[in-house]
């Protein structure tokens, strides 16, 4: 793989993760730009270090990344006496890992549509919730 392709895939993964993390950062959540950016970048790296000819290895790596990220997400979920906090941040971390894996695999249509829908859900859905709950 050529250097420009490596920079593109890893750069897109890091930037998408940072964009998702910015939403969480602005709301003062436990995981922000650096954490979620690194999760997405790490997922892309894990996918890219595989040899392209081994589809079974790719499948196992994706399963491992997404399972492992589930544990990281579980760490941001806090149960209070009356509420559970951190579920959206945990879901954002998991989604960022999946988008990073997609960028690492150069699955561009899935990455673009997934990123747009993720940001729409995080931003527009929050605005709609705020308007409805007034």
pLDDT at 54 over 80: no
Confidence label for 88 from pLDDT (cuts 50, 70 and 90): very high
Q: Indicate whether this model's pTM tops 0.85.
A: yes
Tell me how far apart the alpha carbons of residues 73 and 91 are, in angstroms, rounded to a whole number: 7
Show the DSSP H helices in 1-107 as ranges.
Answer: 3-26, 33-48, 55-76, 87-104
Short-list 68, 111, 113, CA closest to 93: 68
- pLDDT top residue among 37 and 62: 37
Structure tokens at 113: 């549509």
Residue 97 · residue 65 · CB < 8 Å: yes
Residue 118 · residue 82 · CB < 8 Å: no
DSSP state of 2: -
Residue 129, exposed/middle/buried by CB under 10 A (0-12, 13-18, 19+)?
A: exposed
């Amino acid at each position: 793989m050529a250097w420009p392709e490596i920079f593109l895939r890893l750069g897109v993964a890091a930037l998408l993760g940072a964009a998702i993390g910015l939403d969480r950062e602005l709301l003062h959540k436990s995981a922000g730009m650096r954490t979620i950016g690194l999760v997405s970048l790490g997922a892309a790296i894990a996918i890219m270090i595989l040899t392209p000819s081994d589809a079974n290895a790719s499948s196992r790596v994706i399963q491992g990344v997404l399972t492992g990220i589930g544990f990281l997400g579980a760490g941001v979920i806090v149960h209070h006496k009356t509420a559970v906090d951190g579920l959206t941040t945990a879901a954002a971390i998991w989604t960022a890992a999946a988008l990073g894996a997609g960028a690492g695999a150069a699955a561009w249509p899935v990455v673009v549509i997934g990123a747009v829908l993720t940001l729409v859900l995080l931003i527009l859905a929050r605005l709609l919730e705020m308007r409805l709950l007034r």
